Amino acid sequence: MKNLGKAIVFTLAVIWLVIDVYPLIFMVFVSMKSSKEYLSESIWALPDAFDLTNYVEVMKSGFYIYYLNSVFIVAISIVVLILAATMASYAFGKLRFKMNAPLYTLFMAGMMIPVHVTLIPIFRITNLIGLYNTRIGLVGPYVAFGLPVSIFLLTTFMAQVPNELEEAAIIDGANKWQRFAKIAVPISIPAINSVMIYNIVHYWNEFVYALILINDPDKRNVNLGLWAFYGDHQVDVPNVLAALALSVLPLIVTYIFLQQKIVKGMIAGSVKE
Amino acid sequence: MNMKRTILAIVVFVLVLGYAFAGGKPEGEEVKTKEEVITLEMWGIATSGKPTASRFEKAIELWEAENPNIQINMVNTTDAAYKTKLKTAMGAGQLPDIIFSWIGTASHKPLVDAGLVIDMRPYMEQGGWLEEYSPASIASVTYDGGIYATMTMAGARTVANFYRSDIFKQVGLGEPDPLKPPAWDKYKSILQKLMGSGVTPYAFGNREKWPGSFWFMFFLDRIGGADAYPNAADADGTGSFTDSPFIEAGRRIQELVKMGAFGEGFNGRSHEDGSPMALLYRGDAAMMLQGDWIYGNFKKQDPETAAVTKTFPFPVVPGGVGNPLNTIGAPGGQALSVSKSSDHIEEAVEFLRFISTDDRIQEMIVKSGVLTYWKGFSGMIEDPVVAKLVEMDSQSPTKQLWIQEDLPAEVSEVYLNEVQAIFGGQDPAAAMQRLEDAHARHWAWAAK
Amino acid sequence: MRHETIRHLKDRTTTALFVLPALIIFLFYFVYPIPTAAFYSFFKWDGLGDRVFIGFRNWGELFQDGFFWGAFLNNIKLLVLAVIIQLSIAMLLALFITGGTGRVRGIMRSFFIIPLMLSSVAVGLLWSHIYEFDYGILNTLLRTIGLEGLRRDWLGDPNLAIYSGIVATAWRHLPFFMILFQAAIVGIPVPLYESADVEGASAFQKFRYVTFPLIMPTLVNALILITIGSLKYFDIIFALTQGGPYNSSNLMAIYLYKKAFGQFRMGYGSAIATALFLIVFIVVVTIVRSLRRLQRRVAFE
């Protein structure tokens, strides 16, 4: 009976795997076709040649610049976000102070703001501080946008850290920073991991803020860079998919990299007894 | 701790990389040499995948060679994202020096009404600038006597039936006259012959809604004449969208849908991702009612199909009062306006004068295969298909501008939705009533 | 006395320093918009020219706006289906992944994450093709297994469009909840499972009495996130249908975007935005309160 149950679960998982992988395979196959091939021949046909001409074309068209821009913007934003969010979550989750509940609610309210409402104000502010049309100018809005959810997830996690650990550390004379860095953060690594994945994906695929705050083509991120493949009321699908496939690659690599680190971290620092 | 050091290392690495590639000069920094260099900022939609991109590039090159102290910085965005970008900047009070708009009440007129762009008539009346245009094209950007944009860099737009002559031959059809609209019965027999041979007559993707609008506009014009729409749309017009030509146009569309002229699944099929093109190239469909630009797409994507592509006009509708030679589309050119708050109005106007009147630029545009009526250039059109389209278009007494650009944006959205609903089978009378209501509501709202 | 006061101040300062970076960035960029939106909602403004004060007229129009409430209904549909589909599948996948070690599961896990990594543009293009009437894999599959009559115009039929969008959205977003659940499940101490085994518990019982209660906080978080996300949602539905056909797959955020940026009605768009914010706020507060009441009634051991 047990084996049947396991078999069913496994089958369902495989079915889901197919549903997940099919679009990716479709994307890769189409990205290897020429535009003519894609439109003129059956959509099921394998590419004439498994060649990477589209990819080369995409890269040559300056796409690697957009890549670097995206990496630059996302890396800085994530670092700032994680630092600010973990610190704030530690305060909300573990420290007692008067403004705890109101400020936490303020951040929660931030989760409920639809992004388009913020466009004009953020444009104004960015212009005011002279960061219009700069890549660094995107970091502020990105971090601000990512803070509510990150703080939400991290605070609930940190609040669960057993108080005994904190109290023991206090007795040992540790101050807030030490308790934060040596206890709270390491224990919260699974949550930090989730938060990082959530935000990295979001930042990497972000479009609207980049649209309104960036003008120069050489400052564009990956998603704006796709415009090179939009013609007169027509999308050059194979090239766009090639660009998108290239775009997904670093994300997957980052995810795998993070997963390794997390697993190692959990095995090594397993504190929950 | 290890995690933090790793992160730090990554950050430093990225920062270094970033600055290495950043190239350094912040936006708008002016290089002060002996002469002061002015940079004009121009916003448009000529993204690098479009034919207009290279035209603008060359035009700017020519200008900057002769005017090194006036640089042009063009910022391009895709069509869909352009409105968001422009409106955000405008909402925050920041306008570029030169602004592109789609002509009509939906996009251009609001800028004029808000007093954001200058009247260029005083400049145009000097030096023969105004004479470069056909009356129709300049009329489309004229409001209360003031001319609020120049029209350039692109050709006129017209719509025709593009068909694959090889498929027609295969099923035993002759080639329709490219200049004379076919009679309705003859037209229907073409459709029936195609369907009888297992070919879907039209490759049609209406998810974006504007392809369907062409059908409605043509039927409306054929049935009700060129005045039907303006009467209904003008604020002080005597007509209404519920007048019978509108409803009749809806019924004709549904007649074709029921016949199977469009196949199935067209309201969900996207035009812009190329799906209808695929049907045409694979021979599953034989025709497309589309704008002249589609021919350029054919040439780029499937030269074999382009080689057998020909055109014929929209058919005549029995009982209609419209002139069968009327066409729909847009007069030539992209509308470029100068912002009133620009610091360099004179220079911006000079630049626009240059790109609108310079012979080299006009020659380049014509040679790139667009429809244009600039005097003395029509002989330069090399492609016979394009030449026929120009002929067809130039014999038309009236050309109706795209209704979805001509109506105020709010009403335009309802219009497109209702036409799509008609394609989907909804009652045309009810649809037009809703459009009329939305129209009335908008003007009541705008009035207060 | 003074020593204590100074230490107290220093204590407070340190606490403040923890919160300050986040707070500054947030206040600067984010807190400004909502009151501004609320403010603009009382004006007639096309986003370009002058603002004209019109009091509650936008709000009056909003209450009677069939399109807005239709969009609201779609958000509710999205919410309910998201909770049911996304959370359950994510949970099953999370259980599967944590149910054993080994390379196969590890590889599968990396593939499960893929939808999350794709941008809305990519998901829009890919699912457009899946749903395409003639060549899309969905209809083609139905045809090959003989269910030709079930083929539909998935994106063009006003009755189906929103559901097609919801499925694509679920596909794309649930891997995140899988990660969330996985992290929570992994945190459950193994001895608890071992003692359950000793008592002869089945897989289902182990889930019900060990796993489920212990990951409850995460489930609650997931519920809150998915609620807020669904009510606010824009991306993939917009990429697939732009709210059509005929407004049948409109969402509140899409409607807001169209009004404010497409139709020169910033004032009205601001009213929609404020209403959206209030709706989310009310719904979330209600959920949190109900859950707290539920928690107090149920006793865990």
Whether chain C has a CB inside 8 Å of the CB on A26: the answer is yes
Contact A207 C119 (CB under 8 A): yes
Whether the predicted pLDDT of C94 surpasses 80: yes
Binned at pLDDT 50, 70 and 90, residue B176 comes out as: very high
Whether the predicted pLDDT of A267 surpasses 70: no
Do both B255 and B166 map to the same domain?
Answer: yes
- C112: containing domain: 37-297
Do both B220 and B346 map to the same domain?
Answer: no
CA distance A49 to B80: 34
Whether the predicted pLDDT of C243 surpasses 70: yes
Do both B60 and B50 map to the same domain?
Answer: yes
Both tokens assigned to B286? 């034989």
Mean predicted lDDT score pLDDT of chain C: 87
| Helix residue ranges, H only, C82-215 | 88-98, 103-112, 114-117, 120-131, 137-144, 161-186, 190-198, 203-206, 212-214
* Residue of C14, C29, C256 to mutate, interface with A, max A Cβ within 10 Å: C29
Contact C46 B110 (CB under 8 A): yes
CA distance A215 to chain B (A): 6
In a domain, residue C16? The reply is no
Instruction: Out of A72-81, A209-218, B375-384, pick the least confident.
Output: B375-384
In a domain, residue C15? The reply is no
Task: Report how many domains make up chain B.
Answer: 2
Answer whether B294's CB lies under 8 Å from B274's CB. no
* Domain closes at, from B308, B341, B357: B357
* C159: phi then psi, degrees, rounded to nearest 5: -80, -20
Whether the predicted pLDDT of B441 surpasses 80: yes
Do both B151 and B162 map to the same domain?
Answer: no
Contact C273 A194 (CB under 8 A): no
Do both B131 and B172 map to the same domain?
Answer: no
In a domain, residue C6? The reply is no
Residues B228-250 as b/e (b if ≥16 CB within 10 A, e otherwise) read bbebbbeeeeebbbbbebbbbbb
The reported pLDDT for the residue numbered B14 is 55
Q: What is the pLDDT of residues C270-282, one digit of tens each?
A: 999 999 999 999 9
In a domain, residue C25? The reply is no
* B368: phi then psi, degrees, rounded to nearest 5: -80, 5
C136 Cβ contact list (under 8 Å, min separation 6)? C129, C130, C154
Q: Which residue has the higher pLDDT, C15 or B45?
A: B45
Please give the average per-residue pLDDT across B126-143, as a whole number.
84
- CB neighbours (10 Å) of residue C294? 10
Answer whether C97's CB lies under 8 Å from C182's CB. yes
Contact B111 C266 (CB under 8 A): no
The SS3 of residue A21 is helix
CA distance A109 to chain B (A): 24
What is the DSSP code (8-state) at residue B327? E
Q: Return the CA Rg of chain A.
A: 23
Q: Which residue, C35, C29, C50, C57, is CA-closest to C274?
A: C35
Concatenated DSSP letters for B403-428? HHHHS-HHHHHHHHHHHHHHHTT--H
Whether the predicted pLDDT of B28 surpasses 50: no
In a domain, residue B55? The reply is yes
In a domain, residue C30? The reply is no
Contact A123 B18 (CB under 8 A): no
Q: Which residue, A245, A249, A236, is CA-closest to A55?
A: A245
Whether the predicted pLDDT of B140 surpasses 90: no
| Helix residue ranges, H only, chain C | 2-26, 33-40, 57-63, 66-81, 88-98, 103-112, 114-117, 120-131, 137-144, 161-186, 190-198, 203-206, 212-214, 216-232, 235-241, 252-257, 266-297
Whether the predicted pLDDT of A104 surpasses 60: yes
In a domain, residue B316? The reply is yes
* Residue of B199, B208, B264 to mutate, interface with C, max C Cβ within 10 Å: B264
Contact B297 A234 (CB under 8 A): yes
Contact C156 B266 (CB under 8 A): yes
Whether the predicted pLDDT of C245 surpasses 80: yes
B51 Cβ contact list (under 8 Å, min separation 6)? A231, A232, B296, B368
In a domain, residue C7? The reply is no
Do both B127 and B88 map to the same domain?
Answer: yes
CATH code where residue C104 lies: 1.10.3720.10
With a pLDDT cut of 90, the percent of chain A lying above it is 30
- CB neighbours (10 Å) of residue A131? 19
CA distance A265 to C73: 44
Mean predicted lDDT score pLDDT of chain B: 88
Which residue has tokens 């000097």?
B126
The reported pLDDT for the residue numbered A183 is 83
Do both B187 and B335 map to the same domain?
Answer: no
Answer whether A177's CB lies under 8 Å from B49's CB. no
In a domain, residue C9? The reply is no
Where in B33-184 does DSSP place strands (E)?
38-44, 70-76, 98-101, 142-143, 146-147, 150-152, 157-164
Which residue among C49, C257, C263 sits closest to B114, beta carbon to beta carbon? C49
The reported pLDDT for the residue numbered B93 is 87
First-to-final CA distance of chain A: 33
Do both B255 and B269 map to the same domain?
Answer: yes
Which residue among A83, A118, A240 sits closest to C30, beta carbon to beta carbon? A118
Instruction: Out of A137-141, A148-152, A269-273, B234-238, pick the least confident.
Output: A269-273
* A98: phi then psi, degrees, rounded to nearest 5: -55, -45
Which residue has tokens 């290392």?
B9
Number of B–C residue contacts, CB under 8 Å = 103
Binned at pLDDT 50, 70 and 90, residue C63 comes out as: very high
| Residue of chain A minimizing CA distance to B81 | A211
Whether chain C has a CB inside 8 Å of the CB on A145: the answer is yes
CA distance B236 to chain A (A): 34
Q: What is the number of residues in chain A?
A: 273
Whether chain A has a CB inside 8 Å of the CB on B20: the answer is no
Binned at pLDDT 50, 70 and 90, residue B8 comes out as: low
Answer whether B316's CB lies under 8 Å from B324's CB. yes
First-to-final CA distance of chain C: 46
Do both B185 and B259 map to the same domain?
Answer: yes
Q: Which residue, A58, A8, A67, is CA-closest to A253?
A: A67
Answer whether A185's CB lies under 8 Å from B4's CB. no
Q: Return the CA Rg of chain B.
A: 24
CATH code where residue B204 lies: 3.40.190.10
With a pLDDT cut of 90, the percent of chain B lying above it is 65
Both tokens assigned to A217? 């083509």
Whether chain B has a CB inside 8 Å of the CB on C48: the answer is yes
Whether the predicted pLDDT of B30 surpasses 60: no
Whether the predicted pLDDT of B4 surpasses 60: no
Which residue has tokens 């298909």?
B385
Instruction: Out of B60-69, C145-154, C250-259, pick the least confident.
Output: C145-154
Q: Which residue, C37, C46, A119, is CA-closest to B115?
A: C46
Whether chain A has a CB inside 8 Å of the CB on B55: the answer is no
Number of alpha carbons in the 13 Å side-chain half-sphere of residue B18? 20
The reported pLDDT for the residue numbered A123 is 92
Class of domain A61-268: mainly alpha
CA distance B45 to B51: 11
Answer whether C54's CB lies under 8 Å from C268's CB. no
- CB neighbours (10 Å) of residue B61? 10
Binned at pLDDT 50, 70 and 90, residue A248 comes out as: confident
Contact C32 A198 (CB under 8 A): no
Binned at pLDDT 50, 70 and 90, residue A93 comes out as: confident
Q: Which residue, A226, C229, A123, A70, is CA-closest to B84?
A: A123
Binned at pLDDT 50, 70 and 90, residue B377 comes out as: low
CA distance A74 to A205: 10
The reported pLDDT for the residue numbered B133 is 81
- B293: containing domain: 157-328+398-447
Answer whether B387's CB lies under 8 Å from B379's CB. no
CA distance B394 to A75: 57
CA distance C224 to A143: 21
In a domain, residue B302? The reply is yes
| Residue of chain B minimizing CA distance to C135 | B275
Task: Report how many domains make up chain C.
Answer: 1
Q: Highest mean pLDDT: which of B128-137, B275-284, C196-205?
A: B275-284
Do both B107 and B210 map to the same domain?
Answer: no
Contact B265 C264 (CB under 8 A): no
First-to-final CA distance of chain B: 65
The reported pLDDT for the residue numbered B448 is 66
Answer whether A116's CB lies under 8 Å from C257's CB. yes
Answer whether B418's CB lies under 8 Å from B424's CB. no
The reported pLDDT for the residue numbered C297 is 72
Binned at pLDDT 50, 70 and 90, residue A59 comes out as: confident
Whether chain C has a CB inside 8 Å of the CB on A154: the answer is no
Q: Which residue, B296, B322, B318, is CA-closest to B309?
A: B296
- CB neighbours (10 Å) of residue B378? 15
The reported pLDDT for the residue numbered A38 is 85
CA distance B34 to B31: 10
